[in-house]
Amino acid sequence: MADSAVMKIKCPLCQTTGEFTIYPNINVTKDPEMKKKVISGELFMYECPHCHKKGQVDYGPVYHDMEKRLMIIDCKDEKEGLKLFTQFKEELRDLDPSEVRYRFRIVKDCYELKEKIMIFDEGLDDRGVEVSKFLNRLNVKQNYPDFVIKRVYFNKLEDGSCRFEYIDPNNKMITIPVEGEMKETLRGFFEKENPDEVIINEKWAEKVIENSGENDQAEV
């Protein structure tokens, strides 16, 4: 697959057609600058050459960090994402018969892609992060009953501090710092990793918490 391609985009505001370079395969080991552009969002930002209106184009790239042995598939369609996962897993196995352990993730947009990169850069367990995001959601609801949570992200700011961001439909935000003991807990939250468990999000966390509740009851 080519590393880049040119896409034609018609501006919704002035109808001018412009060109936008997309990178379906982002290899940050070969091109470390790309990682910064994913995190800043620059890689997904189109600017109309005529009226300069900016818009996000999330073309669903595959993010590959060979050093960290990490592959993140940005794919809106979960089933399609799983298909790609199987394909890449086999390709990597063919490349390296000793079958180097890779960590795969499927995310549904470029925001989640950025989030995963930051979580792994901090050395955190994304499964723990999702469980914690979900549990803290209940705290936010209790303390701010009128606040409507639309999205929740782990974010690392430029000053190095980390936090959970609970965002409402108007982009208002309630934040919970991720630091100290809490952050340590999120490093090794679960013992083992299941290599086929590749969609790790809040829905996943909700299920894990539900199941653990059932197990507790069974023990009693």
- The residues binding Zn ion (CB under 5 A) are 11, 13-14, 16, 48, 50-51, 53
Query: Could you give the CA distance from residue 183 to residue 197 in angstroms, rounded to a whole number?
Result: 23
Residues 6+ apart with CB under 8 A from 158: none
Among candidates 66, 22, 60, 16, which has minimal Cα distance to 43?
22
Of residues 50 and 69, the one with the C-beta less far from Zn ion: 50
Of residues 51 and 209, the one with the C-beta less far from Zn ion: 51
Query: Could you give the CA distance from residue 48 to residue 18 in angstroms, rounded to a whole number?
Result: 6
Q: How far is the CB of 40 from Zn ion (least distance, A)?
A: 22
Of residues 30 and 50, the one with the C-beta less far from Zn ion: 50
Of residues 50 and 187, the one with the C-beta less far from Zn ion: 50
Q: How far is the CB of 49 from Zn ion (least distance, A)?
A: 8
Phi first, then psi: what are they for 145, rounded to 5°? -60, -25
Query: Could you give the CA distance from residue 134 to residue 142 in angstroms, rounded to a whole number?
Result: 13
Q: How far is the CB of 58 from Zn ion (least distance, A)?
A: 19
Helix (H, G, I), strand (E, B) or coil at 193: coil
Of residues 13 and 135, the one with the C-beta less far from Zn ion: 13
Q: How far is the CB of 55 from Zn ion (least distance, A)?
A: 9
Q: What is the number of other CB atoms lying within 10 angstroms of the CB of residue 34?
A: 20
Q: How far is the CB of 10 from Zn ion (least distance, A)?
A: 9
